[in-house]
Amino acid sequence: MRGLVDTGEANALLAEHGHGELRLVDNGSISPKETLQDLPGAPHAYHLIPKVASKAAAVARHMRARGYAPGECIAVGDSREDLGVAEHVGRFFLVANALDRDPAITNGAAANVEVTEGRNGEGFYEAVIRSLAEGR
Residue pLDDT, tens place only, 46-93: 999 999 999 999 999 999 999 999 999 999 999 888 999 999 999 999
* pLDDT of 32: 79
* pLDDT of 74: 97
Judge if pTM exceeds 0.85: no
Residue with the bigger pLDDT between 14 and 100: it is 14
The answer on pLDDT for 95 being more than 80 is: yes
In our burial notation (b when 16+ CB lie closer than 10 A, e otherwise), range 43-67 reads bbebeeeeeeebbbeebbeebeeee
Sign of the alpha-carbon dihedral angle for 130, 31, 101, 59? negative
Average of per-residue pLDDT values in the chain: 93
The answer on pLDDT for 136 being more than 90 is: no
For the sheet containing 44-50, what is the strand order?
2-3, 44-50, 22-29
